[in-house]
Structure 1
Amino acid sequence: MCRWAAYRGDPIYLEELVSSPAHSLIEQSHCATRAKTATNGDGFGIAWYGDHPEPGRYRDILPAWSDCNLRSLARQIRSPLFLAHVRAATHGATRRDNCHPFVHGRWSFMHNGQISGFDRIRRRMEALLSDEIFDARTGSTDSELLFLLALEFGLDRDPHGAVSRAIATIEALSAEICGDVLVRFTAAFSNGETLYAVRYATDSRPPTLYAAPLGNATSYCLVSEPLNDDIDCWMEVPDGSIVVIGEDGMSVSPFLAEASARAA
């Protein structure tokens, strides 16, 4: 299982989540406490928004704890919205194209979880993509393909519904081809204006997700694991939820995987 952190609010330096806290994302890359494996050393990545619509991005296959450039960038880059991820590979080789976050246009996406039987349903998933979206695929992970499927299903106009339809489609393919269904999905994604996150699993055992205010009343971070021991500060996001963080702060509402889903 991977670990990740995301933020939306007043501009802050990336190091406030990535490297400075006692249990920062870099610390979690070699000593995660709320995952099946403590080590997440199969690469890392950051995506941040600044003066342009599309995000900047830096990824590498090195473990996050061993890349001095990551600490330097995190100390210098200040952003109102960013995503950061450390990878423990389940599908796809350890190469830069398989490191999160994935980006397409103004969208960025990162994921922690799994799709059982992915190798058996991958071609059917790819067949659902238009040529334009299919040509954007550079890696071989289930996470990137799920992101592209959400783009195909209308992520730009209906983020909640597009992700819901993408997961429902994967569940239907898994049931048809594999005979059983297991999807565990905790992801963050953004268009540069709003930060979204979904926590969901078909077996009610999704990867962990926590939220906390950071700064003023409309600035929030989302993390796989709390960054410090201030237990009262962190809210565990319930299974079957979508989190939306925008100009007015954070909201949490139910999320279901439905082929006909519409935005809440």
Structure 2
Amino acid sequence: MCRWLAYSGSPVLLEDLLFKPRNSLVVQSKHSKLGATTTNGDGFGVGWYGARDIPGVFRSTEPAWNDRNLQELSALASSRRVFAHIRASTGSAVQQTNCHPFRHDRWLWMHNGMLSGYPAMKRDLAMAVEPALFNQIEGSTDSEMMFFLALTFGLLDDPPAAVARAVGFVEATGRHHGVEQPVQMTVATTDGDTTWAFRYSSVGASRSLFHSTDVSTLRAQYPDNPVLHDLSDDARLVVSEPLGDLRGAWREVPEASCLIVHGGQEELRPFTPVQP
């Protein structure tokens, strides 16, 4: 499968997220502790917001631990909102267009998991994508197809409802093709101001997902930790697995949930697919 992180808050250097933590995303690319696979070396991607509304995206088929360009970029680029993803392919080709995060205008999307039986469902799913959006699909992954289904079902207006309709449509399509439990996912999407993260699987046993606790509380608990003092009070992280072992720093996102992060505010909602 894959591992990912979504950061929002005061601007930070990308290397502070990707390289410096004890269990950084680059470390996880070789030695994931909670993933379905230990190694996630089938490419990576980083999306970040700068001076423009449209986020920048850097993607590579190199393993994250072995890409010098990633090291150079991470040491110089900073951002207030960052999406980063390391990939372990579930069957689709290792190519740049299959690396996450995927972008549409100001929106980013990344996924850990898989759609079981995707080859059998692919044509039906593709035919449901809005025609005006279809020619923007560049790769061959189930993850990108999910993104464009969510866009079709109204992601730009109501992300939780759109993802619920997209997942419900995939599950209905899967059952039509004899796949009873097609969806395994943790998904994150953002418009540059708010992050929505989803944890769900048809079988009810989803991949791991965590979010950081309030930075001001941690700062009071660990006054001698310099890392915490460099972050703003509204800094938040959503991650496939914790970046460190600081006690009390991470909370698990419950099964079948949607986490909404806006500024320093978090909202946790139940997530239920909507059947077509």
TM-score calculated relative to the size of structure 2? 0.91
Letter in 2 for 1:143: S
1:222 equivalenced with 2:230 (yes/no): no
| Structure 2 SS opposite 1:85 | strand
Paired residues of 1:91 and 1:140 also in contact (CA < 8 A): no
Q: 1:99-248 maps to which residues of 2 (within 5 A)?
A: 99-213=99-213, 215-248=231-264
> 1:72 deviation in Å?
1.7
1:253 aligns with 2:230: no
Write the distance in 2 (CA, Å) between the matches of 1:71 and 1:253: 37
1:248 Cα deviation from its structure 2 partner: 4.2
Q: Give the aligned residue type for 1:8.
A: S
The answer to whether the 8 Å contact 2:45/2:60 transfers is yes
Task: Give the match's secondary structure for 1:218.
Answer: coil
Aligned-residue offset at 1:179 = 4.3
Q: Distance in 1 between matches of 2:173 and 2:194?
A: 30
Moved over 6 A (4+): none
- CA 244–58 in structure 1, closer or farther in 2 if over 3 Å, else same: same
- Worse overlay, 97-106 or 13-22: 13-22
Question: 1:80 corresponds to which letter in structure 2?
Answer: R
Question: Equivalent pairs: percent with the same residue?
Answer: 40
Report if aligned partners of 1:91, 1:142 keep a CA contact under 8 Å in 2: no
Please tell me whether Structure 1 or Structure 2 has the larger radius of gyration of its CA atoms. Answer: 2
Q: Which whole-Å CA distance do the structure 2 matches of 1:42 and 1:231 have between them?
A: 32
CA distance in 2, matches of 1:75, 1:187: 27
One-letter code aligned to 2:19: S
Secondary structure of 2:261 counterpart? strand
Q: Distance in 2 between matches of 1:249 and 1:110?
A: 22
Alignment-mate amino acid for residue 259 of structure 1 = Q
Residues 34-45 of structure 1: pairs in structure 2 closer than 5 A:
34-45=34-45
SS for the counterpart of 2:248 is: helix
Separation (CA, whole Å) in 1 of partners of 2:96 and 2:29: 17
Give the drift of 1:218: 1.9
Within 1, Cα distance between the matches of 2:46 and 2:100? 8
In 2, distance between residues paired with 1:240 and 1:255? 5
What's the CA shift string for 1:12-60, capped at 9, x where partnerless? 1112221111110000000001012110000000000111111100000
Query: Which position in structure 2 is the counterpart of 1:48?
Result: 48
Give unpaired runs (5+ residues) of structure 2: 216-230
CA RMSD across the alignment: 1.2
The count of aligned residue pairs is: 260
**Maintained 8 Å contact 2:116/2:179:** no
Residue 157 of structure 1 and its aligned partner are, at CA, apart by 0.5
Question: Corresponding residue for 1:19?
Answer: 19
